[in-house]
Amino acid sequence: MAALGRNLHDKAFDEGTLTKLELFRTYMRAWLRVFVDRKEILWPNINILDFFAGPGTDKCGNPGSPLVILEELSIHSETIRSKGLNLRCFFNERDLEKFALLDALVKAERQRNPPYHLETAKANFKEAFRSKLPALHAASSANLLFLDQTGIMQIDPETFRELISIKRSDFLFFISSSTIKRFGDQASFQKYVKLSKEEIASTPYLAFHRKILEWYKSLVPPGTQYYLAPFSIKKSSGTYGIIFGSGHPLGMEKFLTAAWQIDSMRGEANFDIDAEGIQPDQYDIFSGELPRPKKVELFERELSKKILEREIQTNRDMYFYTITSGFTPSHARKVFRELVQGKKVKKTPLLLRHDVGRGRNPITEIQTV
Ligand SMILES: C[S@@+](CC[C@H](N)C(=O)[O-])C[C@H]1O[C@@H](n2cnc3c(N)ncnc32)[C@H](O)[C@@H]1O
């Protein structure tokens, strides 16, 4: 079986790895604001787990995920201390050489006496994951899991089902999608990701990570509201990606916001995933406008249509349609503004948030003219 990315730490991180880490950092920053900065602390036990931590940096000292976590946490030290939060970080790495470096890094951090607990382990992932399940499932905890596996095998269907069953938990896991494009029809791979020969053959390489997301979506039990989103990453050796998961719409919104921050064209890749060849500064000579990705045009058209045909009737409907389509509230507001300008809907305050219908955030009707 291909073991891609085995020597990730023997050289400088490549562009793809840097993008992955930037996405993780951007998401973690937003996540910490929700769980650490909010006035009313609902979840005093906060767990951040990096199950495939590596040594901490690449050969050139660029931060790997453990350092990203420590850097982002240090920004909140004072708040964590003053609120008395029980924040615990867990870093696991099976390779003994990498573990020694990781452990030294964490020990040095402990010397600074931070207001959070830092733990390291050198276990195999499955064992480390099992050992943390009681803490993850505890009623008073909120969890962020980073599962930066090598290849595809660790997040098997059983592990994925366990992940999505943990309440107040968000995860980002890495998967080498093109390994499945290459070998996925072999029986030994089918127990990890089950796609038919035809599906594998008919899905282009560049879009393959989207296909992988569909497979994981199919594992979510019917009737369970769970949010999953992809981010595709192209490296010289193939297409990889991150799968994000959260049981909460705010998690999904924050992830999508991070993804659109990194890919302002389509919000889901570090390359031109729809092979449209759009140059960001290339104005159309007839319209004088910037060319727009088809994905964005399609979303705007569909959302307008659904509003005008009354399939979407409220701000709440609009919010959930938007995030489950992979877009953010700011994309939806633009559509609403244009409908108002075109005198197709009435101008009304438009609150697009995950908690409309609760507290002081009313559900409002979108009134067509
Ligand atoms: C892609 S790298 C992770 C990189 C790390 N997140 C970073 O930013 O530097 C995957 C790491 O997981 C370790 N690993 C691979 N299989 C593992 C397993 N089954 N259990 C624990 N660690 C494993 C590898 O030694 C490697 O350091």
Name the strand (E) or helix (H) holding 281. Answer: none
pLDDT at 2 over 50: no
Q: Is 270 part of a structural domain of the chain?
A: no
pLDDT in the model for residue 6: 55
Q: Indicate if 297 and 242 belong to the same structural domain.
A: no
Mean pLDDT of the region 206-233: 96
154 Cβ below 6 A of ligand 1: yes
Q: Exposed, middle or buried: residue 63 (CB in 10 Å: 0-12, 13-18, 19+)?
A: middle
Where is average pLDDT lowest: 142-146, 190-194, 339-343?
A: 190-194
Q: Is 183 part of a structural domain of the chain?
A: yes
Q: Exposed, middle or buried: residue 331 (CB in 10 Å: 0-12, 13-18, 19+)?
A: buried
Question: Ligand 1 atom 26: the closest Cα is on which residue?
Answer: 54
125 Cβ below 6 A of ligand 1: yes
Q: Which domain holds residue 366?
A: 291-369
**pTM metric for this prediction:** 0.95
Q: Is 284 part of a structural domain of the chain?
A: no
Q: Which residues of 107-129 are buried (b: 16+ CB within 10 A; e: fewer)?
A: eebeeeebbbebebbbeebeebb
94 Cβ below 6 A of ligand 1: yes
In which band, very low, low, confident or very high, does the pLDDT at 263 lie, cut at 50, 70 and 90?
Answer: very high
pLDDT in the model for residue 5: 44
| Ligand 1 atom at minimum distance from 146 CA | 6
Of 311, 306, 361, whose CA–CA distance to 339 is shortest?
306
3-state secondary structure of 95: coil
Mean pLDDT of the region 206-214: 95
For ligand 1, mutation pick of 14, 18, 93, 159 (most atoms within 8 Å of CB): 93
Total count of domains within the chain: 2
Q: Is 58 part of a structural domain of the chain?
A: yes
Of 200, 258, 251, 257, whose CA–CA distance to 228 is shortest?
251
Q: Indicate if 116 and 226 belong to the same structural domain.
A: yes
Q: Indicate if 100 and 141 belong to the same structural domain.
A: yes
Where would I find the beta strands (DSSP E) of 25-122? 45-50, 86-92, 117-121
Q: Indicate if 237 and 308 belong to the same structural domain.
A: no
DSSP letter for 34, please.
I
Cα–Cα distance between 329 and 316 in angstroms, integer? 11
185: domain CATH number is 3.40.50.150
Q: Indicate if 17 and 95 belong to the same structural domain.
A: yes
Q: Is 269 part of a structural domain of the chain?
A: no
150 Cβ below 6 A of ligand 1: yes
Q: Is 280 part of a structural domain of the chain?
A: no
Q: Is 237 part of a structural domain of the chain?
A: yes
State pLDDT tens for residues 8-45: 888 999 999 999 999 999 999 999 999 999 888 889 99
Report how far ligand 1's centroid is from the alpha carbon of 295 (Å).
Answer: 34
Q: Indicate if 343 and 206 belong to the same structural domain.
A: no
pLDDT at 4 over 70: no
Report how far ligand 1's centroid is from the alpha carbon of 150 (Å).
Answer: 6
52 Cβ below 6 A of ligand 1: yes
Report how far ligand 1's centroid is from the alpha carbon of 148 (Å).
Answer: 6
Cα–Cα distance between 331 and 265 in angstroms, integer? 12
Q: Is 24 part of a structural domain of the chain?
A: yes
Report how far ligand 1's centroid is from the alpha carbon of 260 (Å).
Answer: 27
For ligand 1, mutation pick of 150, 156, 233 (most atoms within 8 Å of CB): 150
Neighbours of 249 (CB within 10 A): 17
Report how far ligand 1's centroid is from the alpha carbon of 248 (Å).
Answer: 27
Question: What mean pLDDT is reported for the chain?
Answer: 94
Q: Indicate if 216 and 298 belong to the same structural domain.
A: no
| Ligand 1 atom at minimum distance from 57 CA | 9
State pLDDT tens for residues 150-173: 999 999 999 999 999 999 999 999
Q: Indicate if 113 and 71 belong to the same structural domain.
A: yes
